[in-house]
Structure 1
Amino acid sequence: MKKSDRSRLTFYPRQSKNPYLERMLALFAAAGKVEPRPLSLRSIILPSRTGTIFFLNWIENLAVIGSIPGLVATILFVKIIKMRNAKLIWVKHNIYPHSSGRINKDIARACQNFVERNADAVICHGKKHSSDFSLRYVPHPLPVIKQTMRASSSGDYYICFGRMMPYKNIDRLIRDWPKNMKLVISGEFSANYYKTIFRLCQNLDNISLENTYLSDQELAERISFSKGVIIPNDGNTSIISGGILLGLSLGKPTFTKSRRMFEEFDANTTGLYLISDWCDIRSKVLPTKNSIIASSRKIYGDDAIKDRLRQILKDLSQDD
């Protein structure tokens, strides 16, 4: 197929090495006749060729970083896209950015609302949120991690992992965690947040705290040896949790106390549990590793994603 036969898919942010963005660009290319290109000043200013599509992610973060000037820049950018008759796809990743304060949260929401009103398609990876707000549901791509070794047996601990920020409620998890169950909390903390969490863990023999960066392979190995994945955030800012997808993709039972978070995933997902108390984990009859992996691949695998992206591209082409 000639490049001239393809629509240009101009993406933001420009960092194509972002694992999520890499996967989505590859899936878009596999789903339709599109040619991914990073956003540039040239792509904004020069007239669009037929079929140009702008694919935007986390654009609302400009309003958090730059406050009012960031909001104005985003509005101008979107207006230029629309004036050029290009198509705009925006992915709504979060209810609002995790790190925004009260004032910047309102600015970020204003930015999100403006982009959503002007987008030709708004993709959302949460099933309930998509339904509630009439967005285009597309499953979130499963993480792809090549394990260097396979766990032949499970350890005696549960694991909570990722970038550790206050919205994840690590302090509440520590206070509520049963004394007779082992928990490993592994991820990078800010200096101040680590001090707070470290004080809570000082006299607890059943909770291990690791303020460290783990490579994808190291993290996958640690998860694979665990008894299961713990998701403590309440979903007040997040729509879905990447930790849930990573746990399921590695065949590990995954537990959350957040109904909001739980309902964003397909009801037929094997291995994902909504519980009212962390003690309830032990009462669950757990599925096999292979059944969890098979379920995640069927529901959130590449074929399911490509089918939905293909329909979005088809709808956009019919609007021309």
Structure 2
Amino acid sequence: MLEIAPDDVPGAGAERRIAQARTAGASAGAAAVKAAGAARRVLFSPFTNTTNPYIDIVKRVLTQVGYEVEPLSARGLLGGGFVHLFSRNTVLVFHWLELRPFRRKGTRTLLSPVGCLVFAFYCFVICVGRAKVVYFVHDHAVHDTVGVMRRLSMKLMAFVRGLADARVVHAPTFEGKYRARYLPHPLYWDVPGYEATPRARRDAGVDGAEAVAGVPDVQGVEDTKDDTQPLFAMLGTIRPYKDLAAVLDVWPQECRLEIAGNGSADYVKTLHDVMDRRALNDTVTIDARFLSDQEFEQRISGTDVLVLPHVADSMLVSGAFFEAIGRVPMLISRATPFMVWAAKKFDNVLLFDRIDQLPELVRYAQRNWHGAARQDKRELAMDEFGWLACCRQYQQFFDAVVSGTRASDERSSFN
């Protein structure tokens, strides 16, 4: 089967402290309800993900707002948890259920007979229980599938969406398409107890520089004549759906780029072949291995411009965006619907529609990243995707799911 994947900062201000107090109060109220015997329970699948802290953060949010979060697994159900399927106070939460029937072989995605049985088991669980079902829609199709496999993955996703009582998307522009509720994807760095690695201060002393047609100023700041050159990075799994080979085909030879993450040997060789053909080995490096959380954190903290070239028909949002926004001075991304929405809120997000537009944006960022580095986007990012924003919105949504007060356009439908 496929692997199932992606303390308040000091001095945040009075509004955040008040919001934090409200969140704590809500949690205390939920705890009182639990003590009275009316506990609300979430059965969560998958319960762990060793390659991405996203699952753990979402579980922490739900626990914070008063839900008992337990594994949703065959072992747990057969060990006595089956009774919870018939409680109206139970919510079944699924992430990436559509990955279960598939397995990867190199760069190809194939059907897995065992995975198909697991998928069928969870669909059976959904159908027989009285518990409410929430399905998080992360992708448009299973990554790196083509032809029949891609169409099959989309059919399976549509089937699960139809079984679910409610769907969640992390991209507000897809609420209508998937009849879902938008909930923010949590920031990876705004979690109680988490301390982000400080950025190295390489962004001092700037002058003016020219603008590029069609590229907005970063809050009117243009620069730089400084000799320090920015480090561009593409971080995370190295896979075809990120279109990395096409990026290297047009990458400016004078700009430093770091590619880091786990990837298949065949695809990494393809990238090295492009680098050899274009003589990029002096400025582009590939570190093709699994990065620990600490290593990924160090890479992010040392990145000046993050590049997100994911193809538009792949995922709804990129997890790397929520590692970088508020921390990395500039982001360059393909103009997917979510990134178009994000660019309207964050003026340090630059977009391209076609891959041939990328070199101009890269050179623009090479000249102007210092001005973006001077601007602190942390508060704006926390307001949109931070811990408190997530606690507030997730509690409202899950409480509405349990009580049956969701809007009619969010209810179950095969679409």
Q: Is TM more than 0.5 here?
A: yes
Code of the residue aligned with 2:42 in structure 1: it is: L
Distance in 2 (CA, whole Å) between partners of 1:306 and 1:171 is: 39
Distance in 2 (CA, whole Å) between partners of 1:114 and 1:221 is: 40
Structure 2 residues not aligned, in runs of 5+: 1-30, 104-110, 204-227, 406-415
Q: Structure 1 residues 77, 189: closer, same or farther in 2, change over 3 A?
A: closer
1:303 aligned residue? 388
Conservation of the 8 A alpha-carbon contact between 2:306 and 2:331: yes
1:254 aligned residue? 331
| Residue 148 (structure 1) shift | 4.8
Q: Which has the higher contact order (CA 8 A, sep 6+)?
A: 2
| Residue 83 (structure 1) shift | 2.9
Does the alignment pair 1:170 with 2:203? Answer: no
Cα offsets for 1:94-142 (capped at 9, x unmatched): 1111143433322222221111112111011112122443311011111
- Secondary structure of the residue that 1:316 maps to in structure 2? helix
Code of the residue aligned with 1:15 in structure 2: it is: T
| Residue 34 (structure 1) shift | 1.3
Conservation of the 8 A alpha-carbon contact between 2:140 and 2:315: yes
- Secondary structure of the residue that 1:8 maps to in structure 2? strand
Conservation of the 8 A alpha-carbon contact between 2:45 and 2:73: no
Does the alignment pair 1:80 with 2:125? Answer: yes
Conservation of the 8 A alpha-carbon contact between 1:181 and 1:206: yes
Q: Structure 1 residues 250, 122: closer, same or farther in 2, change over 3 A?
A: same
Q: Does 173-182 or 38-47 show the bigger shift? A: 38-47
Conservation of the 8 A alpha-carbon contact between 2:90 and 2:402: no
Return the match for 1:24 from 51, 58, 74: 58
Distance in 2 (CA, whole Å) between partners of 1:6 and 1:50 is: 11
- Secondary structure of the residue that 2:93 maps to in structure 1? strand
| Residue 290 (structure 1) shift | 4.9
| Residue 217 (structure 1) shift | 2.8
Q: Structure 1 residues 84, 257: closer, same or farther in 2, change over 3 A?
A: closer
Conservation of the 8 A alpha-carbon contact between 2:132 and 2:402: no
Code of the residue aligned with 1:182 in structure 2: it is: R
Conservation of the 8 A alpha-carbon contact between 1:151 and 1:221: no
Cα offsets for 1:254-303 (capped at 9, x unmatched): 11133435235373134222133332244466434552222211111122
Q: Structure 1 residues 105, 71: closer, same or farther in 2, change over 3 A?
A: farther
2:304 aligned residue? 227
TM-score w.r.t. length of structure 1: 0.88
Distance in 1 (CA, whole Å) between partners of 2:69 and 2:158 is: 26
Structure number with bigger Rg: 2
Distance in 2 (CA, whole Å) between partners of 1:259 and 1:21 is: 24
TM-score w.r.t. length of structure 2: 0.70
Q: Structure 1 residues 110, 73: closer, same or farther in 2, change over 3 A?
A: farther
The alignment's C-alpha RMSD in Å is 2.6
Distance in 1 (CA, whole Å) between partners of 2:381 and 2:391 is: 15
Count of residues paired in the alignment? 319
Does the alignment pair 1:55 with 2:55? Answer: no
Distance in 2 (CA, whole Å) between partners of 1:70 and 1:254 is: 37
Cα offsets for 1:123-167 (capped at 9, x unmatched): 111121224433110111111363455412266221111110011
1:236 aligned residue? 313
Cα offsets for 1:188-241 (capped at 9, x unmatched): 221111111111112222222222333333333333333211112222211111
| Residue 251 (structure 1) shift | 3.5
1:278 aligned residue? 359
Distance in 1 (CA, whole Å) between partners of 2:198 and 2:42 is: 37
Q: Does 74-83 or 166-175 show the bigger shift? A: 74-83
1:111 aligned residue? 156
1:151 aligned residue? 200
Cα offsets for 1:55-106 (capped at 9, x unmatched): 1111111122455775565355334334321100110011111143433322
Q: Does 128-137 or 218-227 show the bigger shift? A: 218-227
1:140 aligned residue? 185
Q: Does 99-108 or 306-315 show the bigger shift? A: 99-108
Identity, % of aligned pairs?
21
- Secondary structure of the residue that 1:255 maps to in structure 2? strand
